[in-house]
Amino acid sequence: MSQFLSQVGPVLSRRGLLAAATITAAATLTIPSVAEEATDISKLPRVKQALVLPPFLPVHDQVAKGGPKIVEVTLNIQEKKLVIDDEGTELWALTFHGSVPGPMIVVHEGDYVEVTLRNLPDNVMEHNVDFHSATGGLGGGALTKVLPGEQTILRWKAIKPGVFVYHCAPEGIMIPYHVVHGMNGAVMVLPRDGLKDAQGKPFTYDKAYFIGEQDFYVPRDAEGNFKKYEVPGENMSDALEVMKTLTPTHVVFNGAKGALTGDNALKAKVGETVLFIHAQANRDSRPHLIGGHGDIVWETGSFNDVPATNLETWFIRGGSAGAMLYTFKQPGIYAYVNHNLIEAVMLGATGHVVVEGEWNDDLMMQVMKPSPIPA
């Protein structure tokens, strides 16, 4: 805890005090904030949100029905062994709700999220959760530390619309260790009146997918083979050495190489508008839809900002989530990749989208099939 606080910086510096004085003197706060209204929380309706495994999102309304609610979710922390590639490489993953990434939570600006965080009894480590969408208490991390067998309940108000990462952040060296062993997920806070395009026109999406990108750092033995371990945390000293190199051995979507391919490829139809949410809790990425585009992109994940349009590739800063919208125009197979192609092909950062529909010759046509060059 102290190690982390020292990086946050002493708030009571002279600079900090001067800044505080300036704001008080100004009197007029220029950014109207939902946080300013005092709400009687006891009168708000409560709804339970059933979390689903990624890449899917929980059932939700795009335009909020009614006023602010308290959305109840339960996150059961499970330490479990996963196979993360097609060579049988194993990893003791630390997971929210059994999956890497953890499940997506969807609410509207002004809602409250009440999280029951359970550290299941078979686990061996202390865990907590830091929501980038929350305010105060180290994102909730300070107030949610649970030992195996314990649970805690935290309620935070969604005051900023956008997509945000959440991750475990126990203490010191455990923070990066937990995050790169799978312990992260994302939240989407929709504007109450839904999403709007770059012209400010409201639109809706037909489907939404959550792609959680994960960098893994798996130690190798003297012969260069990935090591296997018996229990969670046993790899700690070896893993820290690999982590120090800042070079992952795996960069994968949905927890494993190929997890979003073959029978588990994403699906869509020509004419459908699909929202792709991309989260990377630790490391930069640059998603690209091969064969398509980012029609509307909130690269930083902030829905109040006017989105970028018609991008070939966009940038997801490590420690953040972004959202992209595409309306499919051609059927076939698309690859959704981290466009560092070494990471995409060699480290596993590739998913596929299978799209049904009619081919459009106007957009693309094979004018001449590959044939010998005439003499």
User: Which lies closer to another protein via its Cβ, residue 124 or residue 335?
Assistant: 335
88 vs 374, which CB is nearer to another protein? 88
Least distance (Å) between residue 342 CB and another protein: 9
Q: How far is the CB of 309 from another protein (least distance, A)?
A: 25
> Binding mask 269-308 vs another protein (x if CB under 8 A, - otherwise)?
---------------------x------------------
Query: One of 97, 127, 250, 352 is an active-site residue; which one?
Result: 127
Q: Is 352 a catalytic residue?
A: no
Token pair listed for 314: 């966009």
List 258, 294, 301, 322, residue binding another protein (CB under 8 A): 258
What is the nearest approach in angstroms of another protein to the Cβ of residue 257?
5
Does residue 74 carry a catalytic annotation? no
Question: Smaller CB distance to another protein: residue 132 or 352?
Answer: 352
Three-state SS letters, 62-86: CCCCCCCCEEEEEEEEEEEEEECCC
- Catalytic-residue membership of 108: no
Q: Tokens 């865990």 correspond to what residue?
A: 127
Residues 20-39 that bind another protein (CB under 8 A): none
Say whether 162 sits in a helix, a strand or coil. strand
Q: Does 93 bind another protein (CB under 8 A)?
A: no
Nearest by Cα to 68 from 90, 41, 102, 48: 41
The structure tokens 């992260």 sit at 184
**Least distance CB 335 / another protein (angstroms):** 4
> Vertex 160, ends 158 and 171: CA angle to 5°?
70
Which of 222, 361, 363, 368 binds another protein (CB under 8 A)? It is: 361
Give yes or no: 241 in active site: no
List the one residue out of 195, 234, 197 whose CA is nearest residue 81.
Answer: 234
| Cross-strand partners of 185 | 166
207 DSSP β-pair partners = 274
- CB neighbours of residue 171 within 10 Å: 15
Distance, in Å, from the CA atom of 230 to the CA atom of 214, rounded to the nearest integer, reads: 22
**Whether 111 is catalytic:** no
Do the beta carbons of residue 124 and residue 78 sit within 8 Å?
Answer: no
In the residue annotation, 339 being an active-site residue is answered as yes
Is 127 an annotated catalytic residue?
Answer: yes
Contact between 87 and another protein by CB under 8 A: the answer reads yes
Long-range Cβ pairs for the range 59-65 (8 Å, 24+) = 60/106, 60/190, 62/190, 62/194, 62/195, 62/204, 62/205, 63/192, 63/193, 63/194, 63/202, 63/204, 64/108, 64/111, 64/190, 64/192, 64/193, 64/194
Any contact of residue 221 with another protein (CB under 8 A)?
no
Q: Which residue from 169, 265, 275, 316 is in contact with another protein, where contact means CB under 8 A?
A: 265
Report the alpha-carbon distance of residue 93 to residue 84 in Å, rounded: 10
Name the one range near another protein by CB under 8 A: 27-35, 116-124, 203-211, 221-229: 221-229
- In the complex, minimum distance from the CB of residue 373 to another protein, in angstroms, rounded to a whole number: 14
Report the interface residues with another protein, using CB under 8 A. Answer: 85-88, 223-225, 257-258, 261-263, 265, 290, 331-333, 335, 337, 344-346, 348, 350, 352, 354, 358-359, 361, 365-366
* Catalytically active residues, by annotation: 127, 130, 132, 167-168, 178, 183, 288, 312-313, 339
